[in-house]
Amino acid sequence: MEVVEDGMATSARLRHPAGGPELTLRLDPEYARLAGGFDSFVIAAASKAMLDALADHLDGLGEPHGGVHLIAHGWLLPLLHDPDGRELRVIAASDGQLTATVGDQRNGNVYRTLNGAASVTAVDQPPARCCSANDTNWT
């Protein structure tokens, strides 16, 4: 369903034929600009192998990303962005059981391994861009 305001389509409501939650997409360029660089949600993958396959597929498309990295409770594919600049976080739990504590996003923490270390370091208040795909601190 499309919503029209002042003669212009401003949003669309998507509904899957089999049911489930509805998704509404709203045209708001200013909000999109202000929200750029922030992740809106986290996408769960079933396994690290799926994250590796996704990273390989993105490489084939020439789409930049940060590679697959160990985090506190599994694996993360960071630095993947949608067309509006928002980061898409794709995670896989190490035990296959995804919980709210994966990556501890509730506290705004970012976990990463440093220079090949086996331990995981928490960064309490990361800058807007904590690293780049070419950052040598990522392993």
Summarised one tens digit per residue, pLDDT across range 5-26 is 778 777 888 888 887 777 777 7
41 confidence band (pLDDT: 50, 70, 90): low
Instruction: Say which residue, 40 or 130, is predicted with more confidence.
Output: 40
Residue 71: which of 103, 105, 101 has the closest Cα? Answer: 103
Pair of tokens at residue 107: 């506290």
- What's the pTM value of the predicted model, to 2 decimals? 0.47
- DSSP designation for 127: -
89 vs 30: CA distance, rounded Å: 23
Q: Mean pLDDT, to the nearest integer, of 52-59?
A: 93
Which of 74, 81, 82 lies closest to 49 in space, CA to CA? 74
Please state, in angstroms and rounded to a whole number, the distance separating the CA atoms of residues 58 and 112: 21
Q: What is the pLDDT of residues 100-110, one digit of tens each?
A: 333 333 344 44
Is there a contact between 132 and 125 (Cβ–Cβ < 8 Å)?
A: no
Assigned fold of 37-123:
2,3-Dihydroxybiphenyl 1,2-Dioxygenase; domain 1 (3.10.180)
- Which residue's structure tokens are 């996003």? 105
- Dist CA 64 CA 133 (whole Å): 7
| Domain-wise residue ranges, the chain | 2-34, 37-123
Mean pLDDT of 47-76: 90
